[in-house]
Structure 1
């Protein structure tokens, strides 16, 4: 969804813009006093004689927030966001220097600051989260709510604890920032070139202030709605690697046949396939604020927010299995084998006959999120002291309801496959009639009911005291307490029905239809197959449940010793899915913080210096519970309750210093320590352990068991952070800055598959979150922005904004038995990221062209079971180009148009199966968006 400049359209005074961006950018909740201003502050300029609008206003306000902040930060204000061609808050923040985003299904999701996802999020300087997460899902945040964003890259002691990567604060509009009644908004329509759908969006802002006998009163209400329809296509090759003569498979004696003469053993992915996801997202939101100022020294406010998500999703997958085993035990035959030139152990293409039949599915899902926050606060100044407080309750819940039909082909067709064509595998089913319903067999039915939720209360009190000490003009102290709960529960059941050979067309879901793909001029030969429609599946859920129940009952007669089939009979006997103790966890966590901070100022000759020093002390007390399951080799299992506790104290010092060399030049130096808590799901103590049987000769297996789950022994990610910046402000909207930074960290959390020695099970291979070892991040940033006001005539309307970030980060992998820790690139971190934006703004016309790029990054590391090493998955560099333009047709009415993802570059990653060799993994194609709308202000 695009950010709307609802409250800042048309001519806007500099004074009102500075109200929208507090002088102290940390004071975004209007609950703390502004810092002491210096004589060269922009506040010393007579604001009544200055009027700025549009991009200049936005860039100038954001620049001023950066310039005067106690911390190192970058900011975006609403006018700036409103004129970016972006779909959501995460998209807009990706324009900030040092910020990258991970995109999926045509929208940005995870936000990375300086390459790291460990970012805390606040709303008006208070904690805000989605469901059971610790952070807000920024893609869900409604555009119309935001007045601005602050990305803190170094923390001060009065901030809620930043993550390793920093803190992102979202500010809402306040009614007393507006001088009179205001009605503003936007209506827009968008078109996606892959989904071929038109979607509406809009927001409406109503604000009013009154001067009454009891003081100033302001009220604001904002409505926002965005709908997006998407269709993405992905062709993939599996991450598992096999070979004809047993490399990487369980039973090397069951070899497949290779008829091509002259080729030896070689490697290829175990699977290839297509994956399509189609969906419609609805995001309504309402927020409101009431402010009351009885006098100049007291302000009381109340605010509330409801933001929601409604999704209707359909996922289609078609998978071809190239492993040598098959249902009837007959291995496949490979012919026409071509090896990669210069890599004789790597297949380029071949033909497969026999073996496994291809399998496919259609999953339908309805899901939704509702997040509420209500807050009360005050700010009271008496003499030298300013006391402020903020108290809030947050509740967020996410639910998903999924029903999926599985199918397979009746026989195994001949398949031609090539493993690397324009970024991933392509395949074709030779002589297969995709329109013949007799070729499709029902394979199974899956149902899932998932809910995750969280709530929390929080409160804070802050005292700001002016002193008579020349070098220490202010002292700040405060306390904060919060109490969080989180819950997740995933109940599901599956009926595997392939053994009955029932035709897919015999199900109570009507006539089969060819699915729609999402490719755009792609070389994939096989793209479509028959399935029931989404509506036919969801309208016949109970009939499919009853049919599945009857099917698994019949299968118990054919396979009386199959424990899975017997369990399915029990699970499908009733309409409601049985509760699964292994499918959830609960968490309860309280934190208590106290801080003390001093603001200091002194002179070194002609150089003025100021800054802050302080410490924040935080105690965290948590209780996390779930269930573990142990599956024995004889088919029996045990359910074991699990409870873990953590209690730890963090002492987090910080110091920031700014040297004002001239009115234009300043240098900042900063040091602080951070602790990033593990996610509640990561701390889930539940494990699923499956024991292995001894070999036929009684020999012990390589692994006594395999396991997966959470990790209650995770520790917070700790970091010591060093920052330095050189900043040059040569005009009200022109600046050049350079920053260098270093992070000394330990305990970076990611999922790993590795070997451990368990006291109960022996040597097991387990996949779960782990703390990596010691690591470091070194980096540099540079940014520049200006308008070319010195040029003559229409040329003075041009402007430019550019930034670049370099990152070099490594950490030690979790140790492997018998090996030392290895230093590797940190996952998700790109070495290079840059943004280049060109502006034009003159008279009624404004336009912006934005280019964004991030270089390749590591997705994950995995340990190969048959090779004593780690391998991983890497994503290639990603580029994006967006355009927006507007024309003020009449005063207060502006026509706007955007084009997003002009280049249409695909997402592309590669799976390494040893240190140097890889196969393509995924090629994902996303849509382009075109939008046209009208902004208005009255």
Structure 2
């Protein structure tokens, strides 16, 4: 699922990929002179000479049909002139190689300018010009988009603060395994022709999520005017954090030929990316208890006991290898000039090999002495530094995971232009599977050494163990062994048919209508087993895992004192998996003999006695879902004086029918009596629980565009969107277990359970049972959207735009804790997803771009691009999750930054092009809980990145590249907030800086 950067810089930019995403340009771009056309067609044409013709072609590319129908791509000369040039002169001009940033920015600007929908786009050259490995990395530079990162890559994309996106591939729904969407980082940049971000949709689009829709577009053979194209690239990168080198590669072969049965084109594209990463994290946990333990000694006594500290601190090394192979193919056949049949195939693979090390120590468990306590200046309820003596020993693990994804999609269809009517149909089948296997070797220190902690140093927490010998095996013991297995699958059929009907009515020039049907299934299976063996005090060196080694130190700087500890090698753990299982069985047998009434140990022994890990039926689910959609919309247009006015009015109606199943637990009843064990605990039996749903969504849309001049346009849009809950969230089964938390403290005193203000008086105290599961009563998240834009286009690649938007939201999904009084289980506490109350997001986007062509000489090669987004978003908590008898508060929406911004400086002259790009977003919350109207949650500090790329084209067919990603290497920082103005640093993660060297070719 990841490929190499391809030769976007050198690949021909044709009209076809975007012919279906935009509406006519209305002659808004200046036409190149004949002299410019001849210069551009010359074999040795420079970037400067090619740019005017390239931008004319970008505008022609915008003269297509509506965004969703794909009705007439490559069918007629007016919509696909690039594919079938009418004259030799046109053919010569269209055979030029588009290499410039000017062409890239001009193409993206033309798409944005001429679309019926409010959207932003990135075209192939823009992706290829920066050191982007994946589509997700490229999206980070688009106005209004914010991204999250983990393990040195983008792992989340938010549009206008929301993650609820629909992702399509060439206009078709694409998903990974049991999910409803696909991870955009799984699209290798080398396989792409472009990305389109629809922020305000139209009825003919596949129904967008709350945040909108992102369409990923690949190339097809008719996108190229040449009979044969061979293109690709190779790139090597070096990560200064992992100290590893990685290869990337991509190759594309496209051919088209006239035959007796019509023109036929075939395209094959393959790519591969490998990334070895290592991140070092120092952390303090987000749990900040309200008070110290009663028996805990604090020195000096003069500092008092009113301060609060995180419960534990630690370090975490996240490392691994990702490889993403990808392949796509396309066949196009035009038996007639107005008829096309096609077939598309996509394969995405992902291979993840994670290698994680963790060390952590509690500052409160077992009542350690806290000495040398220094309070923060101006905040006497927070601690700057302290020394911990005694208490709970530290613990650690070495975990390895193996993850694999295989996703396939095959599709075929036809497009027929009858003159007035433009018809299309598309049928696709998708199959995807993801599996993950993990094992963890756990250890602990034999004692609780003295620990010096600084909670506020270099943006985070850090600690050291002064005088402790980290290389002495006698200081470690075996704590346990863990294994898990996870398997999710999904498959689905989808069909759509569309009609664009041109009329002879000046006021209503076009009607569009169509239908879509899907049939989807999803399933999950998982299981795990854990042998907890610490009570046997087995020395670490006595396990069958082999030789011990110190874990690597991956930290930048010297703020963190304790960075390495002894563990078996990874090959020793993996190579001795069976011996470790047998060793675990022997250890558990001893523990069970000493604790015959402990059901947990007996269950663990049963699980490990099996040669292979068995899946737990209570942790799985299955789902089947069908949807049926119908849409209709009309395009209107008229003039008021010299002012042009046009827009769309339509609606999309979607009926969803679902069946969701899971294995839950119910009490065993005999002759009307609930059966209980010797301890009075109800005996539970597994039972398949199935729920069904059937609901209708009506999603209207309306838009208005006003064009006072050929350079200025003003838009207004209204849409309604929705996002279905995930299949896992709809699982109707709940797993229930007795509450085994202690009733008394170690000194024999009863455990005091403080009141929880979220619950009523009759729901206070210690729950008798706890549970977790899905919620079949969840409803789709809905949003009513209002948009307005002002767009001024002063040149082919120069513009200033502003967008204003407001979203009224309902039904946010988050995982919450709820309590009930149950006749069988007593006070029952359940963790499950729930629809939150109303929400609202409002914001402004401002962006601009231009090349400084008015400057003399070499200075005219400079260009700039910048954008900034302001977001303000709140959501209301559900009524039953707020303090009793109170109005639920509005709280910040997790993941939403108030500010995000991008700036890029280009230089392009002759054979050289270069780009410096800056990207950032302000701090945001990751999640929150509210107690008496006060935040308790975690957030992330502001994030900034700086990237650089350099391209040199010594000959027309070859471009040499150099790039640096994450130049600043600013650490990722989290914070744990536990009051209106109180927080501790949570995580500080050092991430890699990447250096790349490569070459792209096109023949």
Q: TM-score range by the shorter chain?
A: over 0.9
Native 8 Å contact 2:199 2:211 kept in 1: yes
Match of 1:204 in 2: 251
Aligned partners of 1:512 and 1:634: how far apart in 2?
47
- Structure 1 residues 405 and 333: alpha-carbon distance in aligned structure 2, compared to 1, 3 A threshold: same
Native 8 Å contact 2:648 2:704 kept in 1: yes
Native 8 Å contact 1:451 1:488 kept in 2: yes
Residues 261-280 of structure 1 aligned to structure 2 (within 5 Å) = 261-265=301-305, 266-280=307-321
Tell me the CA shift for residue 537 of structure 1.
1.0
Native 8 Å contact 1:894 1:935 kept in 2: yes
Aligned partners of 2:769 and 2:65: how far apart in 1?
53
Aligned partners of 2:327 and 2:735: how far apart in 1?
42
Tell me the CA shift for residue 152 of structure 1.
0.2
Residue 722 of structure 1 pairs with residue 786 of structure 2: yes
Match of 1:881 in 2: 946
Aligned partners of 2:837 and 2:436: how far apart in 1?
36
SS of residue paired to 2:303: coil
1:284 to 314, 325, 330: 325
Aligned partners of 1:26 and 1:604: how far apart in 2?
24
1:843 to 907, 910, 925: 910
Native 8 Å contact 1:630 1:690 kept in 2: no
Aligned partners of 1:828 and 1:243: how far apart in 2?
26
Unmatched tracts of structure 1, length 5 or more:
247-251, 326-330
1:823 to 890, 898, 905: 890
Match of 1:446 in 2: 482
* Range with greater deviation from structure 2 (792-801 or 905-914): 905-914
Native 8 Å contact 2:65 2:71 kept in 1: no
SS of residue paired to 2:465: strand
- Structure 1 residues 698 and 420: alpha-carbon distance in aligned structure 2, compared to 1, 3 A threshold: closer
Native 8 Å contact 1:201 1:226 kept in 2: yes
* Range with greater deviation from structure 2 (155-164 or 759-768): 759-768
Match of 2:360 in 1: 319
Match of 1:296 in 2: 337
- Structure 1 residues 869 and 97: alpha-carbon distance in aligned structure 2, compared to 1, 3 A threshold: closer
Match of 2:580 in 1: 544
Match of 2:110 in 1: 64
Match of 2:708 in 1: 661
Residue 553 of structure 1 pairs with residue 589 of structure 2: yes
Native 8 Å contact 1:314 1:363 kept in 2: yes
Tell me the CA shift for residue 803 of structure 1.
0.6
Aligned partners of 1:788 and 1:753: how far apart in 2?
57
Aligned partners of 2:138 and 2:919: how far apart in 1?
11
SS of residue paired to 2:302: coil
- Structure 1 residues 430 and 618: alpha-carbon distance in aligned structure 2, compared to 1, 3 A threshold: same
Paired residues in the alignment total 923
Match of 1:129 in 2: 175
1:31 to 46, 54, 71: 71
Native 8 Å contact 2:133 2:188 kept in 1: no
Residue 644 of structure 1 pairs with residue 691 of structure 2: yes
Residue 14 of structure 1 pairs with residue 54 of structure 2: yes
Residue 105 of structure 1 pairs with residue 151 of structure 2: yes
2:923 to 840, 846, 856: 856
TM-score (norm 2): 0.88
- Structure 1 residues 22 and 460: alpha-carbon distance in aligned structure 2, compared to 1, 3 A threshold: farther
* Range with greater deviation from structure 2 (630-639 or 894-903): 630-639
| CA deviation string 1:813-841 (max 9, x = no partner) | 12223322110111111111010001001
Aligned partners of 1:828 and 1:497: how far apart in 2?
39
Native 8 Å contact 2:4 2:272 kept in 1: no
Aligned partners of 1:438 and 1:85: how far apart in 2?
48
1:768 to 821, 832, 851: 832
SS of residue paired to 1:519: coil
1:751 to 805, 815, 820: 815
Aligned partners of 1:342 and 1:754: how far apart in 2?
38
Aligned partners of 1:834 and 1:21: how far apart in 2?
29
- Structure 1 residues 718 and 874: alpha-carbon distance in aligned structure 2, compared to 1, 3 A threshold: same
Residues 275-674 of structure 1 aligned to structure 2 (within 5 Å) = 275-325=316-366, 331-629=367-665, 638=684, 639-674=686-721
Aligned partners of 1:858 and 1:637: how far apart in 2?
42
* Range with greater deviation from structure 2 (821-830 or 676-685): 676-685
* Range with greater deviation from structure 2 (845-854 or 339-348): 339-348
- Structure 1 residues 773 and 698: alpha-carbon distance in aligned structure 2, compared to 1, 3 A threshold: closer
Aligned partners of 1:677 and 1:65: how far apart in 2?
29
SS of residue paired to 1:375: strand
| CA deviation string 1:14-49 (max 9, x = no partner) | 38954995534854774356999999x999999777
SS of residue paired to 1:79: helix
* Range with greater deviation from structure 2 (179-188 or 346-355): 346-355
Aligned partners of 1:707 and 1:243: how far apart in 2?
25
Aligned partners of 1:803 and 1:920: how far apart in 2?
30
Aligned partners of 2:213 and 2:978: how far apart in 1?
36
SS of residue paired to 1:577: coil
Tell me the CA shift for residue 60 of structure 1.
0.8
Residues 110-189 of structure 1 aligned to structure 2 (within 5 Å) = 110-180=156-226, 181-189=228-236
SS of residue paired to 2:887: coil
| CA deviation string 1:368-406 (max 9, x = no partner) | 111100000110112311110000001111111111100
Aligned partners of 1:173 and 1:395: how far apart in 2?
22
- Structure 1 residues 372 and 426: alpha-carbon distance in aligned structure 2, compared to 1, 3 A threshold: same
- Structure 1 residues 152 and 333: alpha-carbon distance in aligned structure 2, compared to 1, 3 A threshold: same
* Range with greater deviation from structure 2 (50-59 or 870-879): 50-59
Native 8 Å contact 1:23 1:65 kept in 2: no
Aligned partners of 2:893 and 2:486: how far apart in 1?
31
Aligned partners of 1:35 and 1:471: how far apart in 2?
26
Match of 1:703 in 2: 767
Native 8 Å contact 1:312 1:366 kept in 2: yes
Tell me the CA shift for residue 309 of structure 1.
0.7
Unmatched tracts of structure 2, length 5 or more:
13-46, 668-675, 745-749, 753-763
Aligned partners of 1:103 and 1:544: how far apart in 2?
35
Aligned partners of 2:933 and 2:797: how far apart in 1?
56
Residue 257 of structure 1 pairs with residue 257 of structure 2: no
SS of residue paired to 1:139: helix
* Range with greater deviation from structure 2 (682-691 or 297-306): 682-691
Native 8 Å contact 1:26 1:125 kept in 2: no
TM-score (norm 1): 0.94
Tell me the CA shift for residue 339 of structure 1.
1.7
Aligned partners of 2:73 and 2:155: how far apart in 1?
34
SS of residue paired to 1:323: coil
Aligned partners of 2:109 and 2:877: how far apart in 1?
40
| CA deviation string 1:419-466 (max 9, x = no partner) | 221222211113211001111100000001111111110000001111
Native 8 Å contact 1:101 1:111 kept in 2: yes
Residue 713 of structure 1 pairs with residue 773 of structure 2: no
SS of residue paired to 2:618: helix
* Range with greater deviation from structure 2 (529-538 or 43-52): 43-52
| CA deviation string 1:290-319 (max 9, x = no partner) | 000011110000010111011111111001
Tell me the CA shift for residue 361 of structure 1.
0.1
SS of residue paired to 1:147: strand
SS of residue paired to 1:525: coil
SS of residue paired to 1:581: strand
Aligned partners of 2:461 and 2:56: how far apart in 1?
56
Native 8 Å contact 2:919 2:945 kept in 1: yes
Aligned partners of 1:170 and 1:236: how far apart in 2?
37
Tell me the CA shift for residue 695 of structure 1.
5.6
Match of 2:43 in 1: none
Tell me the CA shift for residue 601 of structure 1.
1.2
Native 8 Å contact 1:692 1:701 kept in 2: no
Native 8 Å contact 1:24 1:34 kept in 2: no
Aligned partners of 1:191 and 1:77: how far apart in 2?
27
SS of residue paired to 1:242: coil
Native 8 Å contact 1:308 1:368 kept in 2: yes
Aligned partners of 1:576 and 1:216: how far apart in 2?
55
